[in-house]
Structure 1
Amino acid sequence: MSPAAQLRALLAQDKLHVMPCCFDALSAKLIEQAGFGLTFMSGFATSASRIGEPDLGLMSYGEVLDQARNITDAISIPLIADGDTGYGNAMNVRRTVSGFAKAGAAAVMIEDQLAPKRCGHTPGKAVVSREEAFDRIRAAQEARDEGADILILARTDARHDHGLNEAIDRARKFKELGADILFVEAPRTVEEMQLLCRELPGPKMANIVEGGETPDLPHDELRDIGFSIAAYPLTLMAAAMKAMTEVLQSLSSDADRTPHLMDFKTLRQKIGFEHYYEVSSRYETSDR
């Protein structure tokens, strides 16, 4: 099956899909190795990893597309790519959607923030008019109709400045325009999460940022509320940064750093050395 077909099959299941978010090929491989069925390329974590800068619209379309291509080359589970605002007007949205489809993404997220976009749980974000927001999703759908084998994840950040009702209204229209998955960013209470799931049709995604505005609920509760996907955009990045900071402190003070380290054998196995050796053994002239 194509990545898009794989994702459609997952969404057809009556369950919550827990989705750790990746930021590069290695983190995506670890997610797949841990048994998760899909992943999302977190814009926040990817910006931090690739350019060492905050998620404030600093990465270009080409940089994000390249990162997505590296990830899809490394895994067999579906990847949802972060298409931000589509990188321009409706015509740019069409190009963004087609580009991510060609890169092997199963879905692409298009949002209604004003460019340059911002992380959904940080200050200063604003949304475009309804008309411009709807044009973006319409353009994404038309790009798919013209051959892009990809699902559309439509996101609204209208809750921040305009309230939950406006966000729900926008998301409902996104669905009418052809969006496959709906994402209302940053509901602030369990009651708001319940309301948006009652009001909106089709698969819906919860975005769980540890320390963010949306309640960090147990998986069973998220499922019972009505979410199909629970995304964890910063869990791996936060864990990796904490581990690296702690081991750097140990190295600086010449303390024992082994408690912070994965053993070398496991490290090689997870990166893929053993698989490489196994495959290359079939060819006498391969460099071992």
Structure 2
Amino acid sequence: MTPPNRLRALLAQDKLHVMPCCFDALSARMIQQSGFGLTFMSGFATSAARIGAPDLGLMSYGEVLDSARNITEAVSIPLIADGDTGYGNAMNVRRTVRGFARAGCAAVMIEDQLAPKRCGHTPGKAVVGRDEAFDRIRAAVDARADDDILILARTDARHEYGLGEAIDRAAKFHELGADILFVEAPATLVEMRQICADLPGPKMANIVEGGETPDPGHAELSDIGYSIAAYPLTLMAAAMQAMATTLQALAKDTPRDPHLMEFTELRRRIGFDAYYETSAAYDSSRRSS
């Protein structure tokens, strides 16, 4: 089954899919090893991990595509890629979508922010006009005709123009052919319920610890009507906190974190054991003995 069809099969299930977000091949592999059925390449986290800079449009299309390709080669679960604003006009959007499809992504997110985009839970973001926003999604859907991939259409209009405008834009995205809808940064559970009640098809919630959107439990997110709950910064925040704590211990020459992963487990998760097992089949000296 192709990655897009794997994702379609998941979305056809009447359940909430919890989606920890990755930022590189290793974090994606650990998500898969932990039993999660899909992941999303967080632009915020990937920018931090790859170039050590904030998610403010600093990474190029080529850098993001390269990161996505590294992830799809490391895992078999569906990956949703962050295509930002499409990196230009409608023709750039088409190229962006086709590039992510050919890199093995199951879906790509295209949003209506004004470039350079910003994290949806940080100040200063703005959206393009309706016509340009709709042209981006129209171009993304047209590109899907050549290379199969799902389109996750995102709007950040709630911040600048209110929830009504955001819902209207998302409804039009669905009409144009978007497969999954994402209204960013609702401020209350009431708003989250309105989004799911008013919009057709699968919807994604974006849960940022300390962000603008409420963080209810999985059962409540499912009851509200979401198909996917994305956690874009959970793994990166945990990893950064662990690294900061360990670095402080090293600097002070105090005992390091007792929760450090054992070396044998570290090797196994990275793939050393699997590598040695497979490579043994090509060791003629061992076969002859």
TM-score normalized with structure 1 length = 0.98
The residue type equivalent to 1:29 in the other structure is R
Give the conservation status (yes or no) of the 8 Å contact 1:94–1:143.
yes
Map 1:165-176; keep pairs closer than 5 Å. Answer: 165-176=164-175
What's the counterpart of residue 129 of structure 1? 129
- Structure-1 separation of matches of 2:197 and 2:31: 31
Map Cα deviations across residues 176-227 of structure 1 (whole Å, 9 max, x no partner): 0000000000000000000010000000000000000000010000000000
- Structure-1 separation of matches of 2:130 and 2:261: 49
What's the counterpart of residue 237 of structure 1? 236
What's the counterpart of residue 118 of structure 1? 118
What's the counterpart of residue 282 of structure 1? 281
- Structure-2 separation of matches of 1:179 and 1:202: 9
- Structure-2 separation of matches of 1:189 and 1:202: 21
What's the counterpart of residue 5 of structure 1? 5
Instruction: Please give the secondary structure, in 1, of the residue aligned with 2:282.
Output: coil
Instruction: Please give the secondary structure, in 2, of the residue aligned with 1:282.
Output: helix
Map 1:60-71; keep pairs closer than 5 Å. Answer: 60-71=60-71
Map 1:86-165; keep pairs closer than 5 Å. Answer: 86-145=86-145, 147-165=146-164
What's the counterpart of residue 46 of structure 2? 46
The residue type equivalent to 2:244 in the other structure is T
What's the counterpart of residue 57 of structure 2? 57
**What is the CA distance between 1:284 and its match in structure 2?**
1.2
Map 1:183-202; keep pairs closer than 5 Å. Answer: 183-202=182-201
Map Cα deviations across residues 138-178 of structure 1 (whole Å, 9 max, x no partner): 00000011x21100000000000100000000000000000
Instruction: Please give the secondary structure, in 1, of the residue aligned with 2:109.
Output: strand
Instruction: Please give the secondary structure, in 1, of the residue aligned with 2:281.
Output: coil
The residue type equivalent to 2:46 in the other structure is T
The residue type equivalent to 2:224 in the other structure is I
Gaps of 5+ in 2: none
**What is the CA distance between 1:260 and its match in structure 2?**
4.0
1:228 aligns to 2:227 (yes or no):
yes
- Structure-1 separation of matches of 2:140 and 2:278: 40
- Structure-2 separation of matches of 1:114 and 1:258: 43
What's the counterpart of residue 82 of structure 2? 82
1:256 aligns to 2:260 (yes or no):
no
Map Cα deviations across residues 101-138 of structure 1 (whole Å, 9 max, x no partner): 00000000000000000000000000000000000000
CA RMSD of aligned residues (A): 1.0
**What is the CA distance between 1:258 and its match in structure 2?**
4.5
What's the counterpart of residue 31 of structure 1? 31
- Structure-1 separation of matches of 2:164 and 2:249: 50
The residue type equivalent to 2:131 in the other structure is E
Instruction: Please give the secondary structure, in 2, of the residue aligned with 1:36.
Output: coil
**What is the CA distance between 1:261 and its match in structure 2?**
1.2
% same residue: 78
- Structure-2 separation of matches of 1:178 and 1:124: 29
- Structure-2 separation of matches of 1:56 and 1:258: 33
What's the counterpart of residue 22 of structure 2? 22
* Inter-CA distance 253–129: structure 2 relative to 1 (3 Å threshold): same
* Inter-CA distance 285–51: structure 2 relative to 1 (3 Å threshold): farther
TM-score normalized with structure 2 length = 0.98
Give the conservation status (yes or no) of the 8 Å contact 1:280–1:286.
no
The residue type equivalent to 1:66 in the other structure is D
Gaps of 5+ in 1: none
1:266 aligns to 2:241 (yes or no):
no
Map Cα deviations across residues 239-277 of structure 1 (whole Å, 9 max, x no partner): 000000000000011111151411101000000000111
The residue type equivalent to 1:244 in the other structure is M
The residue type equivalent to 1:5 in the other structure is N
Structure 1 segments, 4+ long, off by >6 Å, are none
